[in-house]
Homo-oligomer: A and B are copies of this chain.
Amino acid sequence: MKIALAQLNFIVNHFEYNKSKITQTIELAKQSGAELIVFSELAVCGYSPLDLLEREDFIIKCQKSINEIAVHCVGITAIVGSPSLNSNPKGKMLFNSAFVLRNGQVSSIHNKTLLPTYDVFDEYRYFEPNNEFSIIAVNGKKIAVTICEDLWDDQPVSTSFARSRLYSKSPMEELSVFNPDLIINIAASPFSYNNEERRKKVFADNVHRFGLPVIYVNQVGANAELIFDGGSMVLNRKGQILEQLKSFVEDFKIIDTESLETTLSTPIINSSEDLRISKIYGAAILGIRDYFQKMGFSKATLGLSGGIDSAVTLALAADALGCQNLRVILMPSKYSSQHSIDDAIMLAETLNVKYDIINIQEIFDSFNKGLSELFMGMKEDITEENLQARIRGNLLMALSNKFGHLLLNTSNKSEAAVGYGTLYGDMNGALSVLGDIYKTDVFKLAHYINREREVIPNNTILKPPSAELRPDQKDSDSLPEYEILDSVLFRYIEEQKNPETIISEGFDRATVLKAIRLVNINEYKRFQAPPILRVSSKAFGFGRRMPLVAHW
């Protein structure tokens, strides 16, 4: 039997668009002789619609889409993700379901059992867990249909204080009593550079536990913070990956169930550091591009300082949006070094990006004059540093308002963590590109961008990081060296280790406690930060919910 894997990029709440994409792909699969086609989780409405799921008009549109798609399912069976109504008067109103469509109608509905409710996932907010199990038959093959987390009942633990069995049920244990021939998993599984190996392990573990091949169809595309990488997979009975669809783009592939019985003599494994950085690069490009396209924008701006963060952001934006859609501003002050201005100009010219230079000194002077009575007799301090950052933020927003360029934020994760940034200044932006990428990885990204030619000036990469908001300022004046800071931050944020554990791993006590304190007390800044493209297992934003008002 031929099975089509449809790895598509949906838009949340765009029913016509999603439906048309789905029905066109069904027609393509029919032409290719497929007897079954598999779409991803919540395909009809896009994942995740969040609180739109609480609206009756939204659910009616989902039902209408399913019925209209079903009409196309003649001579083919389709598995399509959509919410469905819970007919039991007790429990949440909806299920997260896989609809089996054939003979022009809904043949059966299979509901998700395990509802991830952690990190960026809120599924129990909307859905009732499934409690009834059945399999489907297509051309004599018995198939266990599962939805994303349903295969994650026993997952590798990723933080120090976590457990592998978050659920008391195992959907595949329930389904295996029906003796299925294969497992299909429809998913909306977001990318993170430290999750890819976990994902492969989970599928291989399921293959080994139940002795069944797995076909996994993931959605692709970015929705603000979340980047879905696709990378749909087919695993044989040995747990080897027979097929892997592309990452970060739509893909479509037809496989034959006979191939599931084959064995690879040399399984491909590649997970070097270079691959990690290239995946982050690919994720960021998709994240930027989809944010703009799905919001109906094409043009971007940012402030180009000559430093590495704005340089890497610009290079990513040029790849994602095209240099003709970019326009940047250099905004030197009296504290800006000439080499920073030169480096910024060199980068803009290398990337062929239009740039303007506005010296902020006069505007800064006018603020100081306006504030002179209030501030009489007081010394310059952080106030004046922030003021410069905010003047720049205003100029960028003025350009954005006048010409319709969305402002890209250039802060990195190390800065976001310790609050090294000015709210309403350099923290401005419609989208934070680097906000989940530590400074040490920003350097690696710069090297990756320069892998063929010097795009980002070497001087930008080599010089010591500085905000240039006062004379001879260096980041290392107020922060530990980034190599150390990032190591501490990763252990505290991604791995959720206790401070004492981190110290026991060989870090200086004062450095650890200072870094952690800075993370904790700067929640108020991150609360108002732009959405951050998530590439790690624990990004600031929706997936990390810390109390704003607390004792530290």
Contact = CB atoms under 8 A, between A and B. Distances in A.
Contacts of A56: 160-161, 496, 498
Contacts of A552: 13
A402 B424 contact: no
Contacts of A291: 549
B398 A386 contact: yes
A363 interface: yes
A426 to B, nearest CB: 11
Interface in A142-178: 159-163, 165-168
A356 B374 contact: yes
Contacts of A166: 90-92
A231 interface: no
Contact of A394 (B89, B391, B430): B391
A496 to B, nearest CB: 6
A550 B401 contact: no
Given A50-B545, A161-B54, A549-B295, A360 B370 contact: yes
A59 B162 CA distance: 12
A459 B53 CA distance: 44
A55 interface: yes
Contact of A223 (B57, B165, B549): B549
Nearest to A373: B356
A269 interface: no
A266 interface: no
Interface in A409-457: 423-424, 428, 430
A383 B398 contact: yes
Interface in A35-75: 46, 48-52, 54-57, 59
A551 B390 CA distance: 32
A464 interface: no
**Number of contact residues on A: which range applies?**
35 or more
A402 B374 contact: yes
Contacts of A505: none
Given A13-B551, A163-B93, A551-B11, A394 B367 contact: yes
Contacts of A92: 166
A318 B549 CA distance: 21
Contacts of A524: 295, 430
A390 B397 contact: yes
B548 A224 contact: yes
A528 interface: yes
Interface string A523-534: 010011111000
A424 B398 contact: no
A367 B371 CA distance: 16
A33 B537 CA distance: 53
Nearest to A542: B545
Nearest to A400: B383
A52 B367 contact: no
A437 to B, nearest CB: 20
A4 B90 CA distance: 36
A401 B424 contact: no
Contact of A362 (B165, B366, B395, B428): B366
A118 interface: yes
Report which residue of A225, A358, A363, A382 has the largest number of chain B beta carbons within 10 angstroms of its beta carbon: A363
A117 interface: yes
Contacts of A378: 402
Contacts of A13: 547, 550-552
A509 to B, nearest CB: 15
Contact of A382 (B225, B395, B401): B401
A201 interface: no
Given A56-B498, A93-B162, A547 B223 contact: yes
A17 interface: yes
A29 to B, nearest CB: 25
A50 B48 CA distance: 22
Interface pairs A-B: 5 shortest CB-CB: A14-B551, A56-B161, A366-B366, A383-B401, A12-B550
Given A51-B544, A52-B547, 18 more contacts: A12-B551, A13-B547, A14-B551, A49-B547, A56-B161, A59-B161, A122-B545, A222-B549, A294-B549, A371-B395, A383-B398, A383-B401, A387-B394, A390-B424, A397-B423, A397-B424, A528-B529, A531-B548
7 contacts: A17-B551, A51-B545, A54-B162, A56-B160, A117-B117, A225-B548, A528-B529
